[in-house]
Amino acid sequence: MVAPYILHPQSSTLPPQLNLTQRPLSNLPVKMLEYRQKRLGMEPLNCNTLLEPNEELDSLEFRKVICRGVLDENKSIFVGPRSRSISGVTENGYYVITPLLPIPNDQDSVQSPILVNRGWVPRTWKDKALEVARDAEQSSKQETHIVEESERSSWWKFWTKKPKTIEDHVQVVSPVEVIGIVRGSEKPSIFVPPNEPSSNQWFYVDIPAIARTCGLPEATIYIEDINENVNPSNPYPLPKDVNTLIRSSVMPQDHLNYTLTWYASFSFGILA
């Protein structure tokens, strides 16, 4: 189970007396729990029918949705650190947020990109993603240099006059179906450092900023995966637990938990 964070929902469709940002979990009204349970118990919506004219996205929070598309893993964002406790052992990791893109000529897929919080992953996932990104950048620079050098030769000019018979390599990506719930941005407490998009450091979910970084509109819909059919042999990313989502709020003890988690990760990064 992933430890809850000291982050507030940025908006709420409920009346002020039920607003989560005004009460700790210990005083969370029963009506709030009932409200969330009722929303999550409704039939899932299709992503393409989410927004009616003049409908606010806030009114859809905690609604279950089904989205079909292709994950653009090259643009994944890692938010954390977030701790997860397994049999009394705490492990630090991240939530991975990935754009879900439309499938060409598929009316059942999303018609515009959305952001999907796929769940918790170990910190090695982020390390690997950064390594792959560096390798891809280096490879791209090398290919550009080779092409520039080749274009200077007469052989290259002669060869390019011939019919092109070499097809570009296209990576085969399998479509996925995501079952999730609509959420809003997180509002960090004073203990959470500011995000640093330029250095790929994300400490809390800021939907407009993450969307911009992924090259998407700021109003892009954001959902959190709640798929319970986890493959034991390949469990990551590990989606959020529905019961945790229902009860998620600001808990006083989480302030200390977050501070210790962040500084421990920061110190580890310096010493590593």
CB 176 within 8 A of CB 68: yes
pLDDT in tens, 234-243: 889 999 887 7
Q: Compute, in degrees rounded to 10, the torsion defined by CA atoms 69, 73, 75, 76.
A: 100
Give yes or no for residue 225 having a pLDDT over 50. Answer: yes
pLDDT in tens, 178-222: 999 999 999 888 989 999 999 999 999 999 999 999 999 999 999
How far is Cα 212 from Cα 195, in angstroms, rounded to an integer? 13
- Which pLDDT value is given to residue 231? 79
Q: Where are the domains of the chain?
A: 7-151+173-271
3-state secondary structure 74-103: HHCEEEEEEEEEECCEEEEEEEEEEEEECC
90 vs 113, higher pLDDT = 113
* Paired tokens of 224: 């959190």
Band the pLDDT of 86: cuts 50, 70, 90: confident
- Which pLDDT value is given to residue 167? 44
- Which pLDDT value is given to residue 196? 96
- State residue 257 phi and psi, 5-degree precision: -60, -45
Band the pLDDT of 85: cuts 50, 70, 90: confident
pTM of the model: 0.72
Residue partners of 66: CB distance under 8 A and separation at least 6 = 44, 45, 46, 47, 177, 178, 179
pLDDT in tens, 19-70: 444 445 445 567 778 888 888 888 999 988 876 555 567 778 888 999 999 9
Q: DSSP for 174-193?
A: --EEEEEEE---EEE-TTSP
Helix (H) or strand (E) holding 121: strand 114-122
- Which pLDDT value is given to residue 130? 82
- Which pLDDT value is given to residue 5? 46
- Which pLDDT value is given to residue 16? 43
How far is Cα 167 from Cα 161, in angstroms, rounded to an integer? 16
Residue partners of 119: CB distance under 8 A and separation at least 6 = 95, 96, 225, 236, 237, 238, 239, 240
Q: Mean of the pLDDT values across residues 171-176?
A: 78
pLDDT in tens, 122-163: 999 998 988 887 776 666 556 655 555 655 555 445 455 544
Helix (H) or strand (E) holding 71: strand 64-71
